[in-house]
Structure 1
Amino acid sequence: MDPNAYSHFHAYTTPLIAELSWDPVSQKHIPFRASLRHKHSTWARTFYSRPELYLQPESIEELRLILTLARRLSKNVIVVGSGHSPSDMTCHTNWMVNLDNFRQVLSEDRESKTIVVEAGIRLHQFLDELDKRGWAVPNLGSITEQSIAGAIATSTHGSTLQHGILSESVVMLRIMLASGKVVECTKDLNSELFQAALVSLGALGIVVAVGFQAVEGYKIRWRQEVTTLEKFLANYDTVWHETKFARCWWFPYSERCIVWHGEHTDEPIQEPPKSWYGGSFGRWTYETMLYVTTWIPSLTPAVERFVFKMQYGWEEGVKGTAVQNSHEALIMDCLFSQLVNEWSLPLDKGPEVIRRLQDWLSHRNELAGIPISSKDIYVHAPIEVRITDSSRSTTPRAWLDQSMSATPTLYLNATLYRPFLKNVAHWERYYEAFEYLMKEMGGKPHWAKNFVSVTPSELFGMYPEMSKWVKMRNQVDPDGVFVTKWLQRHILDAKEADVAIASGEEFKIIEIDE
């Protein structure tokens, strides 16, 4: 053993690293791949942080060394992937672990179409692996840059009444706990840990492998149609049932919607129509116009109408069809930097919520019934409208699943672009009003997005299983290795958290023999 091993990190790890990194079997020191100069930012560059150490392990042994050191030195650890969460959820000043080197396929079962992958694999890499096998995911969100573990951890979802959140396709999770021990969980093995970890917020341990139930590969024929907001609301009860996949983009100043429908098909590939703001000129023009509105906000409605006309035309009717492979059809171009605030609520609340928010944005405060002034508020489009239904799932429900448990779920996603990284004025007040309405309708915020007014106690009220989740979290990480400022601020500061930790018996957890 070299007592001076990793001496350049002794200021951060103490000389203890030499002893703990020594592997008597190989007679070598376990690699400690750390950087001192990493600057972390979210994809949207909404938040930044400089971790003390940025670590990119390449093996289970390297990961265990990191956690052993962190526990001994009372360091906090966060795992990050693409940083696509627009909130400060991934920001951290202690140790930051990135699993981009954990991206291999570990096993597969051709008959059942189940596949086990390392947890750091990005969704687009995972989809490529499935495509090689003629498989696909049954449902998908709007982007594929996240790691599979990150997407699962925050209750990511798509838009269909045939499925719930992405985690419902997960059949196994392998997690390294703060102790360095590895635990495997399924609906039958360590089932309570499984339900806690299906939406883990990265706070239970480090997910190192994911078992996923794939489906036969498929194509989607889709169409998008321009309609008025009133017609969309008049057909609200049927619009979600016409096809397997459905979603809507609502443009409040145009009082129009783009309704997107998709269905499985065996037809040959048909390329989608060209997108005006998908090209470099249209994209730059749109961002520039939005930037101008940060100085002259009253121009925002005119910009929305202009862009809508350039992208879709103004007349009602079908404005585009295509046949694409499933993952190509289901994702969308998120354009540029943005703040995002998405909430789930019962599907049948949709018409009332949308009308009241439309009234508020149109400065008809008396009709909206929202006791927050809309004066000088101008927002961006589209407001995305999506759906899921978790009742069909055969996977145990995640304790922190954002969707509704007893009814189909509506998701409203209020996006505010940050043209050339500049925030619009009064964005916090817009989100406060939006959240007031969502709370009144029994809504819940998306874990990874920019909610601004929700207290820890309110989150406990929204999630009946939150106390169990907190107790499980404390049991598997009693030293708080995975506790971050975000987690403390939003959940653990609640008095309910202390009560949860002190109550009841511990969960039974069976470790695996490595």
Structure 2
Amino acid sequence: MRASQATRTVAGKRTPPTADGAPRTEWRNWAGNQRADDVQVVAPRTVDELARTVADLADAGRGVRPIGTGHSFTAIGVPHDVQLRLDHLDAITAVDLERAQVTVEAGIRLSVLNRALETLGLGLTNLGDIEEQTLAGAISTGTHGTGLRFGGLATQVCALELVLADGSRLTCSAQENPDVFAAARVGLGALGVLATVTLQAEPAFAVRAREGGGRLDETIERFDHDAATHDHVEFYWFPHTRSVLTKHNTRVALDADRPPALSRRRAWWDDDFLSNTVFGAVVGAGRRVPPLVRPLARVSASALGDREFSDVSHRVFTSPRRVRFEEMEYAVPREHGMAVLRELVRRVEASRWRIAVPVEVRVAAADDITLSTATGRDTVYVAVHTAPGSPDRDAYFAALEGIAGEVGGRPHWGKLHGLDAATLRERYPRFEDFLALRDRLDPGRTFGNSHLERVLG
């Protein structure tokens, strides 16, 4: 159905087709821990239709919650009334090869965007470790990769177009509406709906990957040095062991002398079969028979193998994730990162918890985005995970939250945490600026939900 067919007229007013009398559906996020059972869905096919739809719903007093692919673990995407999907807004609308900039509709999935950029001879400077999110969702929640010289995905945004609650369209950049630009790059979907985004890409490049097993204490001791001397560094600690998997990734030119890419069979074996099928079986066994978790963790850690390869950047930065889990991630000042991890290790070792999923540690550069977890400071990210329904989740997550809180840690906006606006206000220097902007752009809270009420007040 085209845009001209996607609205109907009621009493002389153009009204979204799902505003009245439309079938209702249920919604679940990727992890399955957030749900809504009585949801109306609108999915505009053009930006113009998006603007009309938002305005009509707001005029009718309807709440609107934009959603991407549901990869957030928090209730940030849970709709109370109408769910706004941008699935049809997934086109590249402009390309400037000379400046390596692309403008895209914000509903495009990162997987589609990465491959489109590759055909243009371009690539994004940095990415998170999955690519199934929509661009709007990834930007709005502060998705990031790793690398001390590189910021999160939102730092690669050089302009955006926001649809406001009254249906107006606001263009924002460092030169045009800079106050909105500073906030809307990690806007939580609370200011308006991201319609289009202009990204600063760069000429396509390859990444040389070196991965292998290591010892926890040694990895902690050299982490600051490794982060300062390698482009992209991260590691995974296997609870109930002293073993880690380290990743040291170096940016290289596409035509540089470098190791070959993994064969299709090796890539499938390592990144699909072992990382998803086998790991999923391990997690599942631990859920059915909890005493197996600790011995299986030791088996998983001992199975780590070294490998070195290279490939186009997005194929190294991202990998498939099909094993369901629940996650909390805290951003702490870089200088406190390893102390936070050491204390977490101590708590796990002193507990009776059974943790089947590794802890992930990454690093990122400071930025100037109002609600970015890295605003104003170089940041170490510590992420903890459990199998869905784990009886140890609450105590384990509370431990990280308390440890990180001692050093002013900020929770990832898309991952589980227990903080509210009163505490978050203390963690973000410009928190009040964001609230004032929200009052100006969405005074009627068209884009609100209960989660935003908790974290923003």
Q: Give the secondary-structure state (helix, strand or coil) at the position aligned to 1:390.
A: coil
- What is the aligned-residue identity percentage? 25
Q: 1:183 to 1:281 in 2, by over 3 A?
A: closer
Distance in 1, matches of 2:214 and 2:272, equals: 24
Is the contact between residue 159 and residue 388 of structure 1 (CA under 8 Å) also seen in structure 2? Answer: yes
Matches within 5 A, 1:181-260: 181-260=168-247
The two structures have a TM-score, normalised by structure 2, of: 0.92
Distance in 2, matches of 1:439 and 1:117, equals: 37
Partner of 2:261: 270
Match of 1:99 among 62, 86, 89: 86
Distance in 1, matches of 2:53 and 2:445, equals: 15
Distance in 2, matches of 1:490 and 1:302, equals: 39
Partner of 2:166: 179
Q: Give the secondary-structure state (helix, strand or coil) at the position aligned to 2:99.
A: coil
Partner of 2:335: 348
Q: 1:430 to 1:201 in 2, by over 3 A?
A: same
By how many angstroms is 1:292 displaced? 3.3
Distance in 2, matches of 1:478 and 1:109, equals: 36
Task: Kindly provide the CA deviation profile for residues 218-266 of structure 1, in whole angstroms up to 9, marking residues without a partner as x.
Answer: 0111101211111112223312123211111111222111111111222
Task: Kindly provide the CA deviation profile for residues 10-53 of structure 1, in whole angstroms up to 9, marking residues without a partner as x.
Answer: xxxxxx745222xxxxxxxx873776233211111121113442
Q: 1:461 to 1:84 in 2, by over 3 A?
A: same
Task: Kindly provide the CA deviation profile for residues 127-150 of structure 1, in whole angstroms up to 9, marking residues without a partner as x.
Answer: 122111100000000111111111
Q: 1:282 to 1:461 in 2, by over 3 A?
A: closer
Match of 2:425 among 437, 446, 460: 460
Amino acid at match of 1:383: V
Distance in 2, matches of 1:383 and 1:98, equals: 32
Matches within 5 A, 1:362-441: 362-363=349-350, 374=351, 376-390=352-366, 397-406=368-377, 408-418=378-388, 423-441=389-407
Q: Which ranges in structure 2 are unaligned for 5 or more consecutive residues?
A: none
Q: 1:36 to 1:6 in 2, by over 3 A?
A: same
Q: Give the secondary-structure state (helix, strand or coil) at the position aligned to 1:97.
A: strand
State which structure, 1 or 2, has the greater radius of gyration over its C-alpha atoms.
1
Is the contact between residue 382 and residue 415 of structure 1 (CA under 8 Å) also seen in structure 2? Answer: yes
Matches within 5 A, 1:497-508: none
Does the alignment pair 1:331 with 2:318? yes
Task: Kindly provide the CA deviation profile for residues 168-226 of structure 1, in whole angstroms up to 9, marking residues without a partner as x.
Answer: 11110101100111110100110001111011000111111001111000011110121
Q: 1:74 to 1:308 in 2, by over 3 A?
A: same
Is the contact between residue 6 and residue 18 of structure 1 (CA under 8 Å) also seen in structure 2? Answer: no
Amino acid at match of 2:297: E
Is the contact between residue 250 and residue 381 of structure 1 (CA under 8 Å) also seen in structure 2? Answer: no
Q: Give the secondary-structure state (helix, strand or coil) at the position aligned to 2:262.
A: coil
Distance in 1, matches of 2:115 and 2:415, equals: 27
Match of 2:299 among 306, 317, 320: 306
Q: 1:51 to 1:64 in 2, by over 3 A?
A: farther
Does the alignment pair 1:447 with 2:440? no
Is the contact between residue 222 and residue 321 of structure 1 (CA under 8 Å) also seen in structure 2? Answer: yes
Is the contact between residue 86 and residue 338 of structure 1 (CA under 8 Å) also seen in structure 2? Answer: no
Partner of 1:119: 106
Distance in 1, matches of 2:406 and 2:291, equals: 29
- State the aligned residue count: 445
Q: Give the secondary-structure state (helix, strand or coil) at the position aligned to 1:46.
A: coil
Q: Give the secondary-structure state (helix, strand or coil) at the position aligned to 2:195.
A: strand
Distance in 2, matches of 1:335 and 1:480, equals: 35
Amino acid at match of 1:304: A
Coordinate RMSD, CA, aligned: 2.2
Distance in 1, matches of 2:71 and 2:274, equals: 25
By how many angstroms is 1:474 displaced? 1.2
Q: 1:155 to 1:6 in 2, by over 3 A?
A: closer
By how many angstroms is 1:274 displaced? 5.0
Q: Once structures 1 and 2 are overlaid, which stretch shifts more, 75-84 or 242-251?
A: 242-251
Does the alignment pair 1:488 with 2:453? yes
Is the contact between residue 47 and residue 89 of structure 2 (CA under 8 Å) also seen in structure 1? Answer: no
Is the contact between residue 327 and residue 384 of structure 2 (CA under 8 Å) also seen in structure 1? Answer: yes
Is the contact between residue 33 and residue 57 of structure 1 (CA under 8 Å) also seen in structure 2? Answer: no
Is the contact between residue 16 and residue 42 of structure 2 (CA under 8 Å) also seen in structure 1? Answer: no
Distance in 2, matches of 1:454 and 1:460, equals: 10
By how many angstroms is 1:6 displaced? 9.6
Task: Kindly provide the CA deviation profile for residues 272-329 of structure 1, in whole angstroms up to 9, marking residues without a partner as x.
Answer: 645767455884444344233235433211111112223x15xxxxx01111110000
Q: Give the secondary-structure state (helix, strand or coil) at the position aligned to 1:66.
A: helix
Distance in 2, matches of 1:323 and 1:240, equals: 19
Distance in 2, matches of 1:137 and 1:467, equals: 31
Partner of 1:293: 286
